[in-house]
């Protein structure tokens, strides 16, 4: 099995639609989009009281990252909604950013239309589709991203584009631009260590995939690493087609630890992954306690310590590492990381229902 991850021919045969290429290009995509961010501006009111990102799946993760990156640095609250409905408080003083890579996601279109009815200030991000058509019809700002990608592989495009309305509101300045630049640098340096051409013995992402293989990953995180933990789970679900779940620390130590202590025979089927970043004393005690419970049952944790000075750089470091792990796990499982036929089928059913 180990030889699979160092065999270029095997990887190419399994990865028929070249997810590896999309992974490789993240840093360059983000770097190129920085210029778009600095040059773009959308007419939005400075009287906005809140920002709501509406999206699903790979299109929603951009809003999650924005929220956790900026939440204690700006006064304007940022929220993310996944689904058809908007909270009742969304209204004329709200900026709603509808994000759908395809432009045809039924849940996002529903939230978009509801926000328009309530008079919210709207911005949409897509590669085209019905969302772009609605923006043209109603003279609503639309940010178009590159087409032809899987939404989860378009994270650089969706994330940086999501910052354009925030920059127009005066919430993104030179400090944030510098953090974006550092994120580019950190992910480029990480890629040199974990890209597919780096052999297993020197490649931490490949070795992590080996340790996860055949087990159910439990991802533990706190603070800014929470959206990254969600990203790990969704990437493992979609790329590697395997079950995974994540837990928030310290919350899980008020419930989850009881089950861990009493289901000892099941722990051998779990691969615990700890995303550890900037922990204060109490958080460190919580993480160490979880590790101790696993250690009592001879389960070794997988620890990821993000690199970077800024919060955003560390978030993208851990995210990028997880993306590569999910890719290598897909290769080990012999599944093409790109297709997600079950999601496509659900979207067809929702679309057919809407047209009845």
Choose, from 36, 185, 215, 347, the residue flagged as catalytic. Answer: 347
Q: Are residues 328 and 221 in the same domain?
A: yes
Q: What is the CA radius of gyration of the chain?
A: 21
How high is the pLDDT of residue 354?
67
Does 349 have pLDDT greater than 90? no
Minimal CA–CA distance to 242: which of 114, 132, 331? 331
Under the banding of pLDDT at 50, 70 and 90, the label for residue 355 is low
Residues 137 and 228 in one domain: no
138 among known catalytic residues = no
Q: Is residue 161 part of a domain?
A: yes
Tell me: pLDDT of 356 over 60.
Answer: no
Same domain, 222 and 252: yes
User: What is the predicted pLDDT for the residue at 103?
Assistant: 97
Q: In whole angstroms, what is the distance from residue 208 CA to residue 262 CA? A: 27
pLDDT at 167 over 90: yes
Which member of 31, 182, 238, 291 is catalytic?
238
How many Å apart are CA 355 and CA 349, to the nearest integer? 10
Q: List beta partners, residue 272.
A: 218
Instruction: Return the structure tokens found at 113.
Output: 């239309």
Indicate whether 283 and 208 sit together in one domain. yes
Q: How far apart are the C-alpha atoms of 109 and 130, rounded to whole Å?
A: 8
Please calculate the CA angle 85-103-16 and round it to the nearest 5 degrees: 120
* Cα separation values, 170 from 44, 99, 166, 315, Å: 10, 20, 6, 23
Residue 252 sits in the same domain as residue 167: no
CA-to-CA dists, residue 139 to 121, 133, 134, 135, 265, angstroms:
11, 10, 8, 6, 59
How many angstroms separate the most distant Cα atoms in the chain? 62
Give catalytic status of residue 9 as yes or no. Answer: no
pTM of the predicted structure, to 2 decimals: 0.95
Question: Is 341 contained in some domain?
Answer: no
Is residue 344 very low, low, confident or very high in pLDDT (cuts 50, 70, 90)?
A: confident
The whole-number average pLDDT for the span 123-145 is 97
pLDDT attached to residue 324? 98
Report yes or no on 92 lying in a domain.
yes
CA atoms lying within 13 Å on the CB side of residue 232:
32
Closest to 208 measured CA to CA, from 322, 291, 60: 322
The whole-chain average pLDDT of the chain stands at 94
Residue 52's pLDDT is: 97
What residues make up the domain containing 104? Answer: 19-172
Pair 123, 262 in one domain = no
Same domain, residue pair 64 and 104: yes
pLDDT of residue 45: 73
Task: Give the CATH number, domain containing residue 153.
Answer: 3.40.50.10490
Task: Please give the Cα distance from 27 to 22 (Å, whole number).
Answer: 10
**Residue 39: what pLDDT?**
81
Band (2; pLDDT cuts 50, 70, 90): low
Per-residue pLDDT at 218: 98
Task: Answer yes or no: are the C-beta atoms of 233 and 325 closer than 8 Å.
Answer: no
**Contact criterion met (CB below 8 Å) for 50 and 78:** yes
The SS3 of residue 71 is coil
The secondary element (H helix, E strand) that includes residue 297 is none
- Range in 62-76, 207-221, 307-321, 334-348 with the lowest mean pLDDT: 334-348
Q: Which of 17, 60, 51, 10 is nearest to 333 (CA)?
A: 10
Per the model's pLDDT, the better-predicted residue between 131 and 345 turns out to be 131
pLDDT tens track for 14-65: 999 999 999 999 999 999 999 888 888 888 876 899 999 999 998 999 999 9
Q: Are residues 159 and 229 in the same domain?
A: no
Q: What are phi and psi of 99, to 5 degrees?
A: -120, 115
Query: Which of the two residues, 142 and 45, has the higher pLDDT score?
Result: 142
Question: Residue 346 domain-assigned?
Answer: no
Separation between Cα atoms, residue 79 and residue 90, nearest integer Å: 10
- 112 and 154 assigned to the same domain: yes
In a domain, 265, yes or no: yes
Q: How many secondary structure helices (H) and strands (E) does the chain include?
A: 14, 9
238 catalytic residue (yes or no):
yes
Residue 281 has what pLDDT?
Answer: 92
Among 254, 262, 263, 266, the active-site one is 254
Give the least confident one: 87-101, 190-204, 227-241, 337-351: 337-351
Q: Are residues 220 and 260 in the same domain?
A: yes
Lowest mean pLDDT among 280-289, 294-303, 322-331, 341-350: 341-350
Boundary (domain end) residue, out of 172, 200, 215 = 172
CA distances 259 to 116, 255, 315, Å, are 45, 7, 29
The stretch 188-205 carries a mean pLDDT of 97
- The span from the CA of 180 to the CA of 33, in Å, is 10
Query: How far is Cα 95 from Cα 164, in angstroms, rounded to an integer?
Result: 12
**Residue 9 sits in the same domain as residue 25:** no
């Amino acid at each position: 099995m180990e030889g699979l991850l160092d065999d270029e021919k095997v990887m190419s045969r399994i990865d028929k639609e070249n997810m590896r290429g999309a992974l490789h290009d993240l840093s360059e995509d983000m770097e190129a989009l920085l210029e778009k961010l600095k040059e773009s501006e959308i007419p939005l009111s400075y009287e906005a009281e809140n920002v709501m990102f509406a999206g699903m799946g790979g299109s929603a993760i951009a809003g999650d990252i924005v929220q956790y990156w900026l939440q204690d640095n700006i006064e304007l609250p940022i929220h993310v909604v996944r689904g058809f409905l908007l909270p009742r408080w969304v209204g004329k003083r709200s900026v709603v950013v509808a994000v759908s890579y395809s432009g045809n996601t039924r849940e996002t279109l529903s939230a978009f239309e509801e926000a328009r009815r309530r008079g919210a200030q709207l911005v949409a991000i897509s590669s085209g589709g019905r969302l772009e058509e609605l923006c043209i019809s109603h003279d609503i700002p639309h940010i178009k991203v590159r087409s032809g990608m899987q939404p989860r592989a378009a994270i650089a495009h969706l994330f940086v584009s999501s910052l354009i309305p925030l920059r127009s509101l005066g919430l993104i300045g030179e400090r944030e631009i510098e953090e974006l630049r550092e994120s580019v640098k950190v992910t480029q340096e990480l890629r040199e260590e974990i890209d597919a051409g780096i052999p297993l013995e020197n490649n931490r992402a490949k070795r992590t995939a080996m340790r996860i293989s055949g087990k159910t990953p439990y991802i533990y995180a706190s603070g800014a690493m929470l959206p990254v933990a969600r990203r790990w789970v969704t990437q493992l679900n979609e790329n590697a087609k395997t079950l995974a779940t994540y837990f928030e620390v310290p919350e899980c130590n008020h419930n989850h630890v009881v089950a861990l202590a009493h289901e000892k025979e099941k722990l051998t089927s779990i691969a615990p992954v700890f995303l550890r970043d900037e922990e204060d004393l109490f958080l460190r005690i919580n993480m160490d306690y979880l590790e101790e419970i696993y250690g009592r049952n001879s389960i070794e944790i997988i620890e990821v310590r993000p690199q970077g000075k800024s919060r955003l750089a560390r978030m993208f470091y851990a995210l990028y590492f997880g993306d590569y792990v999910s890719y290598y796990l897909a290769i080990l499982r012999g599944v093409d990381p790109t297709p997600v036929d079950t999601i496509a089928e659900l979207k067809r059913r929702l679309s057919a229902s809407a047209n009845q």
